[in-house]
Amino acid sequence: MRVLLADPPAFTPWYDHELAAALARAGADVELRTSRFRFGDVPAADGYRRSERLYPLSSRLFRRSRLRLPLKALEHLDVLRSLALSRPDVLHLQWLALPQADAHLRFRAPAVFTAHDLLPRRTASRRALWQRLLHRFDAVVVHTEHGRETLAELGIAARVIPHPVYPSSAVRADDGATLLSLGVIRPYKGLSDAIEVTRRLPNTRLVVAGDPAMPLDGLRSAERVEWRLGYLPQAELDRALSEATLALFPYRAELDQSGALLQALGAGVPAVAYDVAGLGEPIRAFGAGRVVPEGDVDALAHAVSALLGDRAALAAARDGAERARRELTWDASAARHLELYEELA
């Protein structure tokens, strides 16, 4: 089967790589069509072909500058043309970069879309737009039951394929009291709540490992916080994960599932998260930590304290993270994707 995976804006290059490689291991002929990732190196293609020809200028001239947006909008016309002319057995689109323009997409092959963010924040209020857009696809994939229920409200019957964990070479080397905030630092990720938990628990320290996409302002002055900023290479991510006793995800409602959470579970690190969107589903399903009410810093601090102060409870959460690590594999995800593709081809 010839599968074209497309992530035009390169929003999730590691997800794209792992899925493409797993599909190739399962026997599919896979092309990943994307653009140059603006913030660092990505893994070499493994068993599949990668083309980075989309957005050729805007993906190379700018990082986070908004100056790239007008140029990107012009280049998007070529993205639409590239997708419309493609004739694989199945086209699987990962992201819609400009929904207003993408509503006019036409496909010459069965088309699948993965709704990573369900209704992206910039256009979430335009429900009619998303209904029209998602109905253009032959199938829509979501990562959680929450995602399925959310899209059902729009009349979309989505297929749940859980987000796999990311492979890691991390080995447990934590001191029993190290908290981790992992991933790109954005306002909705609640870094200030993680810092507040660390302030309340004087025997802990917090490692912040990620690239800032927001001003850090006074957060840098917090005590017992170690900052490892930027797009970290895999060896540095593994080091942070090795040192982590618990990973914290005090997110606000913004996305359906977190790649950073799946990185933590992929390293066998249990998590404590706010109960937003589908974030708590793998934690609950595998007993890999604790889920507390959204925005409740008291509950977040209590859950962290309870796990750090109870060796048996922490060991059970670690066992849950290891179960997630064993079961939420990319090969299992690829098998479920191929089942879906074969239904459509």
Question: Using one digit for the tens of pLDDT, what is the confidence trace for 17-50?
Answer: 999 999 999 999 999 999 988 887 899 999 999 9
Verify that 9 and 128 share a domain, yes or no: yes
* The pLDDT of residue 123 is above 60: no
Domain membership flag for residue 173: no
Verify that 87 and 184 share a domain, yes or no: no
In percent, how much of the chain has pLDDT > 70?
A: 94
One-letter amino acid of 284? R
CA atoms 80, 17, 69, 132: torsion sign: positive
Domain membership flag for residue 172: no
How many structural domains compose the chain?
2
Domain membership flag for residue 154: yes
Beta pairing, strands 178-182 & 205-210: parallel
Which 3 state secondary structure label does DSSP give 296?
coil
Verify that 106 and 208 share a domain, yes or no: no
Verify that 337 and 257 share a domain, yes or no: no
Verify that 87 and 39 share a domain, yes or no: yes
Q: Which pLDDT belongs to residue 251?
A: 97
Verify that 299 and 269 share a domain, yes or no: yes
One-letter amino acid of 301? A
At 121, is the pLDDT very low, low, confident or very high (cuts 50, 70, 90)? low
Distance of alpha carbon 317 from alpha carbon 247, whole angstroms: 12
One-letter amino acid of 309? G
- The pTM assigned to this predicted structure is 0.91
Q: Where is average pLDDT lowest: 22-26, 131-135, 162-166, 256-260?
A: 131-135
Nearest to 320 by CA among 290, 288, 291, 284: 288
At 62, is the pLDDT very low, low, confident or very high (cuts 50, 70, 90)? low
Domain membership flag for residue 169: no
DSSP state of 83: H
Verify that 137 and 107 share a domain, yes or no: yes
Domain membership flag for residue 170: no
Identify the domain containing residue 127 by its residue range: 2-164+329-344
Q: Which pLDDT belongs to residue 249?
A: 98
Verify that 152 and 204 share a domain, yes or no: no
- pLDDT tens-digit readout, 215-246: 998 899 999 999 999 989 999 999 999 999 99
Verify that 217 and 145 share a domain, yes or no: no
Nearest to 288 by CA among 326, 252, 256: 326
Residues 6+ apart with CB under 8 A from 98: 73, 76
Verify that 208 and 221 share a domain, yes or no: yes
Distance of alpha carbon 331 from alpha carbon 327, whole angstroms: 10
DSSP state of 217: G
Domain membership flag for residue 291: yes
Domain membership flag for residue 171: no
Domain membership flag for residue 208: yes
| CATH number, position 126 | 3.40.50.2000
Higher pLDDT, 85 or 248: 248
Residue in the block written with tokens 């977190």: 258
SS3 content of the chain, % helix, strand, coil (to 5): 40, 20, 40
Tokens of 294: 């959204």
Verify that 134 and 64 share a domain, yes or no: yes
Distance of alpha carbon 141 from alpha carbon 19, whole angstroms: 13
Verify that 334 and 293 share a domain, yes or no: no
Distance of alpha carbon 194 from alpha carbon 198, whole angstroms: 6
- pLDDT tens-digit readout, 191-219: 999 999 999 999 999 999 999 999 998 89
Q: Which pLDDT belongs to residue 65?
A: 60
Please, which contacts does 38-46 make with residues 24 or more away whose CB atoms are closer than 8 Å? 38/10, 38/62, 38/63, 39/63, 39/211, 39/231, 40/231, 40/233, 41/233, 42/13, 42/14, 42/17, 43/14, 43/17, 45/17, 45/20, 45/21, 46/17, 46/20, 46/21
